[in-house]
């Protein structure tokens, strides 16, 4: 098994729970305040991780200006995405809509991996992109009945 697999598995679990709790919160808090609380809590969690690394003598990693810019752009994407998920749920969107959104995102990431990052094209990954788009269609089609 690839050394990154369990990190991917754990990230999937936490991002899945992230959407479940966003659905709970969306009925009880405004999208802006809710998004702010989500991101502030995430920032505190990451600060704790950095503190843990620092106090245990682990390397914090390199910092470059390009790394800061790309991280900032990533933060903008996460912030906008968080607010949009709150709005999706506040407008009555079901939790089952989230896999549709994530499937489209997965397809975008797979294509970017091949086109932008020159990752090798593998039939399994291409099949995954196709299946994610099929799931997008099926979930949308099922919602319209």
User: Does residue 118 share a domain with residue 88?
Assistant: no
Entry pTM: 0.82
pLDDT single digits (tens) 14-64: 999 999 999 999 999 999 999 999 999 999 999 999 999 999 999 999 999
pLDDT single digits (tens) 125-136: 888 888 878 877
Residue 145 has pLDDT above 60, yes or no: no
Last-in-domain residue among 69, 93, 117 = 93
User: Does residue 77 share a domain with residue 30?
Assistant: yes
pLDDT at residue 129, rounded to an integer: 80
Q: Are 34 and 25 in contact (CB under 8 A)?
A: yes
Q: Are 90 and 31 in contact (CB under 8 A)?
A: yes
User: Does residue 84 share a domain with residue 18?
Assistant: yes
pLDDT at residue 20, rounded to an integer: 95
Rounded to whole angstroms, the Cα distance separating 35 from 29 reads: 9
DSSP 35-56: HHHHHHHHHHHHHHHHHHHHHT
pLDDT at residue 17, rounded to an integer: 94
pLDDT at residue 143, rounded to an integer: 62
């Amino acid at each position: 098994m690839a050394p990154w697999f369990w990190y991917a598995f754990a990230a999937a679990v936490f991002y899945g729970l992230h959407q479940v709790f966003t659905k709970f919160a969306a009925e009880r808090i405004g999208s802006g305040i809710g998004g702010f609380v989500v991101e502030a809590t995430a920032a505190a969690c990451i600060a704790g991780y950095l503190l843990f690394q620092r106090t245990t003598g682990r390397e914090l990693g390199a910092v470059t200006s390009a790394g800061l810019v790309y991280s900032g752009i990533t933060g903008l994407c996460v912030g906008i995405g968080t607010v949009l998920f709150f709005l999706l749920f506040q407008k009555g969107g079901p939790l089952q809509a989230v896999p549709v959104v994530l499937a489209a995102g997965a397809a975008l990431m797979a294509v970017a991996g091949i086109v932008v990052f020159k990752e090798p094209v593998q039939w399994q990954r291409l099949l995954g992109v196709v299946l994610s788009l099929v799931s997008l269609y099926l979930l949308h089609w099922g919602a319209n009945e």
